[in-house]
């Protein structure tokens, strides 16, 4: 393995031309951007209407039709799908086709990726991983890739396209999406760092203990719950303080130094009634728009790369101001 300094220089050089340069831009990340049980089907349209770049999160699982025995990708907030859920091809890829084709015509690589597609796999069954891999292979002109190198700790330059696909940290995904590839094969999606998860009833861990390993060719981003910043997370957060801001900046600076782009999830602030009406998880709620806006602004100032929220219009307004 190369010395750490050389590794980080190589990582920075690889990311600098990719649109994933740590700290280069803050992207609105639309959390759980798909229908729930037939409701909230407009989430993707609302997210895409906020401008670009934007990140779209899709939760994925595997559904097998009991009548035919055939399986398919289902976008669903859980491991067991019913069969009524939308599929990834129609709900996401064909929905964004006009956006991607416009980006390809304009050919302005400085704005790419225009969309980050974030997968949260609710199942890691091999048929699901294979189906996702194969589906990505159907859009070679759309998808950002990188070659697999002999040394996994060296970040290869990215062939940047209008979409960049990110996934999370499960070892099964790394095995299928990276380890099994031959040297020179193209990575089609990129995993997140393996983290030490905070628990809400425990003190905050030292920053360097959360993710002790630098970014790799496959693992290029850090996906963090907010309880790494404020003990207890959103529901136990008190007033935003200078110490909280210092902790946030320490995490982000450390992540960027290790070569990772930084994402925090999920920063909401609303009444209980609004949350229920929109199907938003109450565990991500700071309780008021004023409270969450303080965190949004602090995250932007600290250089957070992806701010996940369900309140896409509200965060977009803050970002534009």
Q: Any idea what the CATH number is for the domain that residue 261 is in?
A: 3.20.20.190
Determine the pLDDT at residue 197: 85
Determine the pLDDT at residue 14: 44
Q: What is the mean pLDDT of each run of 10 residues along the chain (321 residues)?
A: 46 51 93 93 96 98 97 96 96 98 96 97 98 98 98 95 98 98 98 91 90 96 97 96 98 97 98 96 97 98 98 98 87
Residues spanned by the domain of 102: 4-320
Three-class SS string for the chain?
Answer: CCCHHHHHHHHHHHHHCCCCCCCCCCEEEECCCCCECCECCCHHHHHHCCCCCEEEEEEEEEEECCCCCCEEEEECCCCCCCCCCCCHHHHHHCCCHHHHHHHHHHCCHHHCCCEEEEEEECCCCHHHHHHHHHHHHCCCCCECEEECCCCCCCCCCCECCCEEEECCCCHHHHHHHHHCCCCCCEECCEEECCCCCCCCCCCCCCHHHHCCCCCCCCEEEEEEEHHHCCCCCHHHCCCCCHHHHHHHHHHHHHHHHCCCEEEEECCECCCHHHHHHHCCCHHHECCCHHHHHHHHHHHHHHCCCEEEECCHHHHHHHHHC
Determine the pLDDT at residue 1: 46
What total number of domains does the chain contain? 1
The model carries a pTM of 0.93
Determine the pLDDT at residue 135: 98
Determine the pLDDT at residue 19: 61
Please check whether residue 292 is in contact with residue 243, taking contact to mean a CB–CB distance below 8 angstroms.
no
């Amino acid at each position: 393995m190369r010395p750490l300094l050389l590794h980080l220089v190589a990582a920075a050089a690889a990311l600098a031309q990719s649109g994933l340069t740590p700290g280069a831009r803050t992207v609105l990340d639309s959390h759980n951007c798909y229908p729930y049980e037939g409701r909230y089907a407009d989430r993707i349209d609302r997210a895409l209407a906020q401008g670009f770049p934007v990140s779209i999160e899709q939760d994925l699982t595997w559904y097998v039709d009991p009548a035919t025995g055939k399986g398919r990708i289902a976008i669903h907030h859980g491991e067991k799908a019913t069969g009524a859920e939308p599929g990834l091809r129609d709900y996401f890829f064909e929905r964004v086709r006009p956006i991607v084709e416009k980006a390809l015509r304009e050919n302005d690589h400085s704005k790419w990726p225009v969309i980050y597609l974030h997968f949260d796999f609710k199942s890691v069954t091999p048929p699901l991983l294979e189906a996702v891999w194969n589906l990505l292979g159907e859009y070679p002109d759309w998808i950002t890739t990188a070659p697999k190198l002999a040394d996994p700790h060296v970040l290869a330059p990215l062939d940047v396209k209008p979409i960049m696909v990110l996934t999370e940290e499960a070892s099964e995904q790394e095995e299928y999406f990276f380890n099994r590839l031959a040297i020179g094969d193209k990575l089609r999606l990129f995993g997140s760092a393996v983290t030490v998860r905070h628990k809400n009833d425990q003190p905050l861990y030292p920053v360097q203990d959360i993710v002790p390993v630098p970014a790799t060719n496959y693992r290029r981003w850090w996906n963090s719950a907010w309880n790494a910043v404020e003990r207890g997370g959103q529901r136990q957060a008190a007033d935003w303080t200078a110490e909280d801001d210092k902790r946030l900046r320490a995490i982000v600076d450390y992540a960027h130094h290790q070569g990772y782009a930084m994402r925090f999830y999920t920063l909401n602030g609303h009444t209980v009634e609004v949350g229920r009406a929109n199907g938003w998880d109450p565990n991500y709620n700071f309780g008021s728009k004023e409270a969450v806006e303080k965190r949004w602004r602090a995250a932007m100032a600290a250089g957070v790369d992806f701010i996940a929220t369900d309140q896409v219009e509200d965060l977009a307004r803050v970002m534009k101001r």
